[in-house]
Amino acid sequence: MNIQEVKDYIENHKERFINELVELLKIPSVSADSAYDSETKRCANHVKQSLLDVGVDFAEVCPTAGHAIVYAEKINDPTKPTILVYGHYDVQPADPVSLWSSPPFDPVIKDGKIFARGSADDKGQFYMHVKAFEILSNLGELPCNVKFMIEGEEEVGSSNLGLFVKENKEKLKADVIVISDTSIIDNDTPSITVGLRGLSYVEVEVTGPSKDLHSGVYGGAVDNPVNVLCEMIASLKDENNAITVEGFYDKVEVVSDEDRAAMAEAPFNKQDYLDAVGVKATRTENGYSDREGTSIRPTLDVNGIWGGYIGEGAKTVLPSKAYAKISMRLVPHQEPDEITALFKSHFEKIAPPSVKVKVTAHHGGEPVVIPTDNPGYKAASRAMELTFGKKPIPERGGGSIPIVALFEKELGLKSILMGFGLDSDDIHSPDEHYGIFNYLKGIETIPYFHKFFEEESAK
Ligand code: BES
Ligand code: MN
Ligand code: MN
């Protein structure tokens, strides 16, 4: 296998590669919304068929208590190392659909990008592995055995994948896991994600009077839960933009000055960053850069807040209840259950006696760090260096893929996070898109990951 053969194959088949992705993107596999369950199921079958089409030994749709997991494998030579590819075929809800420039499940190609929900997260990215496998098969070179595990519940917390992994350890036996579900710095600056943040997610309910009251008759004496919730939330950050939950930072890993200096080497254009998100300034925890704020430091963000009257016109009401959904992104060595417990007791403690509060935990996830001194990382680094012409920079990502920590625990395997997206792909947002350059570059790079993984494992 040489770079020209791979390039030629892609050049000769790229229209079809793009069309196949377009077909996959037309299926609205929204895992969070049961109205789409039959589409999500159809998507699983579609993924299974796409794997059979490229010559796996077998492929199956494995039912779970939730959405199915697609599993496939090609065991070419049991003496060779095995690569387990993980990805997700489920997508985030598309709403608010009115903010999309084109329908989310009717893919449009514009300015070298495919616009559709799931294009970058994660259909376009896991499908690169399917097409890279096609190339390897057709060039008659499979340096490694390959297993595919493509799930349908990543966007809703992967709650059934954990059980599947525990029950199928033998089947999932591999030497490395590779995941393309993250970003590179930019198209001229390849990077490999070496850390993901964890997550603690809570919903809070603040109750004041037992029912909605007249805000004139009672306002001024009976406390208002919406006001109280706002005060409580405001107090969760101090004047340094640090989180005030007691004990929150106790286990936070202190990153060395040397590592921070190395991270600061990565290119970052502040004005482009501001323009891309449409703000005039950022606000970080004192003493930390923007990039550090989104990688090595934990966060606390309100994801949604509601309560009281939000209909047309004005209604003078003193509401009975107020709610918020709050997420905390965690860094090593914070533990999600512990952080959730700390949040709960802090939140209960700061509530004034005029209200009652209830804190409910949602799914969480542990943070991860990926070492760079192993065959998987080295193979990914060599493959990207070859196809981008530049050595990739190891970089910590701000998002979460909670199942990565579980893979380590249950399978004893580190994951290699070799994603090809861009932070500007608008994942989870209206107008999500994936660059054709990125899609094809991934398809070009992955065959070399296989080749170099075999070489690095033999060393
Ligand atoms: N692919 C993302 C995670 C991601 C994106 C990591 C960009 C690094 C860079 C994944 O699909 C995702 O959205 N994860 C959720 C996890 C949650 C649903 C438990 C997240 O990060 O919010
Ligand atoms: Mn994803
Ligand atoms: Mn996602």
Q: Are 375 and 456 in contact (CB under 8 A)?
A: yes
Task: Tell how many helices (H) and how many strands (E) occur in the chain.
Answer: 12, 20
For the chain, give the percent of residues with pLDDT over 70: 100
Q: How far apart are CA 456 and CA 459, in angstroms?
A: 5
Please give the pLDDT value at position 2: 83
Question: Would you say the CB of residue 376 lies under 6 angstroms from ligand 1?
Answer: no
Question: 53-86 in b/e burial notation, b at 16+ Cβ within 10 A?
Answer: ebebeebebbeeebbbbbbbbbebeeebbbbbbb
Residue bearing the CA closest to ligand 1, atom 7: 182
Residue 27, pLDDT above cutoff 90:
yes
Task: Let me know if 412 is exposed, middle or buried by CB neighbors in 10 A (0-12, 13-18, 19+).
Answer: exposed
Give yes or no for a contact between 122 and 76, defined as CB atoms under 8 angstroms apart: no
pLDDT given at position 144 = 98
- Mutation test of ligand 1: which of 181, 291, 294, 369 has the most ligand atoms closer than 8 Å to its C-beta? 181
362 band by pLDDT with thresholds 50, 70 and 90? very high
Q: For ligand 1, pick from 117, 427, 428 the residue to mutate: most ligand atoms within 8 Å of CB.
A: 427
| Tens digits of residue pLDDT in 173-201 | 999 999 999 999 999 999 999 999 999 99
Alpha helices in 26-123 (DSSP H): 37-53
318, 219 in Cβ contact below 8 A? Answer: yes
Among residues of the chain, what percentage have pLDDT more than 90? 97
Residue 316 burial (CB < 10 Å; 0-12/13-18/19+)?
A: exposed
- Ligand 1 centroid–CA 329 distance in Å is 11
- Indicate the Cα dihedral angle 453, 190, 327, 345, nearest 10°: 70
Ligand 2 midpoint to CA 122 (Å): 5
Q: What is the pLDDT of residues 399-448, one digit of tens each?
A: 999 999 999 999 999 999 999 999 999 999 999 999 999 999 999 999 99
- The whole-number pLDDT of residue 244 equals 98
**According to the model, what pLDDT value does residue 140 have?**
92
pLDDT at residue 67, as a whole number: 98
Ligand nearest to the CA of 329: 1
Backbone angles phi, psi at 211, to 5 degrees: -150, 165
Residue 122 is given by DSSP the state: I
User: What is the full DSSP assignment across 346-378?
Assistant: HHHHHS-TT-EEEEEE---B--EE--SSSHHHH
* pLDDT for res 38: 98
pLDDT of 344 reads: 98
Ligand nearest 330 Cα, by number? Answer: 1
| Mutational pocket test of ligand 1: of 86, 88, 121, the residue with most ligand atoms within 8 Å of the beta carbon | 121
Residue 293: how many other CB atoms lie within 10 Å: 17
> At residue 135, does pLDDT exceed 90?
yes
pLDDT at 391: 97
pLDDT single digits (tens) 310-334: 999 999 999 999 999 999 999 999 9
273-294 confidence digits (pLDDT tens) = 999 999 999 999 999 999 999 9
- What is this structure's pTM? 0.94
367 CB near ligand 1 (under 6 Å): no
In terms of C-beta density within 10 A (0-12 exposed, 13-18 middle, 19 or more buried), how is residue 20 classed?
middle
Please tell me the distance between residue 88's alpha carbon and the centre of ligand 2 in angstroms. 7
Q: Tell me how crowded residue 265 is: count the other CB atoms within 10 A of its CB.
A: 8
What domains sit in the chain, N to C, each tagged with a CATH number?
3-196+367-457 (3.40.630.10), 198-252+298-365 (3.30.70.360)
Which two structure tokens, joined as six digits, stand for 244?
A: 């005030």
How do residues 340-355 score in pLDDT, each as one tens digit?
A: 999 999 999 999 999 9
pLDDT class of 77 with cuts at 50, 70, 90: very high
Ligand 1: which residue has its CA nearest to atom 15?
Answer: 400
Residue 222 burial (C-beta neighbours within 10 Å; 0-12, 13-18, 19+): middle
| pLDDT exceeds 90 at position 1 | no
Identify the band that residue 363 occupies on the pLDDT scale cut at 50, 70 and 90: confident
- The set of residues, in sequence order, having a beta carbon less than 8 Å from that of 341 and lying 6+ positions away, is none
Residue bearing the CA closest to ligand 1, atom 6 = 399
Smallest-distance ligand from the CA of 424: 1
Average pLDDT over all residues of the chain: 97
pLDDT band at 3 (very low <50, low <70, confident <90, very high): confident
